[in-house]
Amino acid sequence: MNSRRTNLDELKDSSARPVALFLDDGGVLNDNSLRAPEWLRLIGDFMPALMGGTVEQWAAANAIVFPQVWGDLRRRLSDFAIYRQFERAYAINWMRGMCAAVGVAIPPDDDAVALHRELSIYVSERANATFAGAGDAVVALHRAGYMLYMASGTPSWELRGILAKMGIAEMFTEFYGPDLVDRVKYGRGYYEEIFAHAGVAPTSALIIESDAECCDWASEASARAVWIDAGGRGDATSLASLVDALV
């Protein structure tokens, strides 16, 4: 694989700073370990009134159903030619599994997809999972003049809610969201699609990612990439620490 990441010293010393920054969400702006219990809590707020069952039943069901559904589809990401296929498969499989576990009627497929989107928006607008300092880091990057974009496997309608909850939505030019280019976040093609959609030259972009493999795909697409990992395996431990190299 002909790819490499960009370390912080290179960013500090570079005479050609990136123009546009493309940020991942989970692992960069928000902590997935905090988001998981928030989903359990907020599913219990949302689903019983619409579908029946109890708060405890929905929470218990998701603890079992989500890992199974997500794990299966994650292993098959490369099989989905377009994002809409992935979204539909995930929503239907999740809803079927959840309703079966809770013991309520399973809605028709189209209704299941629509209901899952409503739930996702509801959760995104209310969940508390932000990394300390992440919002301030985004503000600093925006004030420094960078064009900011999201580059996430999370769809744009969730990202809008997440960033609005953080108070930083207006600082982003676009919320990529695989739905905006109808391509799952898998392989270099995802990054090529979002760069083309944004009208940004890949060589002017910096991908800020929580996944080393995504950094490889981004660099294969001719962009620079930084891996953020709180455990210290990457190029930076937080977005805040990366700001020091960019501002």
- Each residue's pLDDT tens digit, 94-138: 999 999 999 999 999 999 999 999 999 999 999 999 999 999 999
> In the predicted model, what is the mean pLDDT of residues 11-38?
91
Predicted confidence at residue 12, as pLDDT, reads: 82
% of the chain with per-residue pLDDT over 70: 99
The CA distances from residue 155 to 4, 32, 124, 175, in Å, are 27, 16, 11, 8
> In the predicted model, what is the mean pLDDT of residues 217-222?
96
> In the predicted model, what is the mean pLDDT of residues 163-175?
98
Enter the pTM of the model: 0.94
Q: What are phi and psi of 197, to 5 degrees?
A: -65, -40
Q: Whole-angstrom distance between the N-terminal and C-terminal Cα of the chain?
A: 31
State the pLDDT confidence band at 7, using cuts at 50, 70 and 90. Answer: confident
Q: Is the dihedral of CA 106, 113, 52, 70 positive or negative?
A: positive
Predicted confidence at residue 2, as pLDDT, reads: 45
The CA distances from residue 236 to 20, 49, 154, 199, in Å, are 18, 43, 22, 28
State the pLDDT confidence band at 1, using cuts at 50, 70 and 90. Answer: very low
Predicted confidence at residue 11, as pLDDT, reads: 84
Predicted confidence at residue 119, as pLDDT, reads: 97
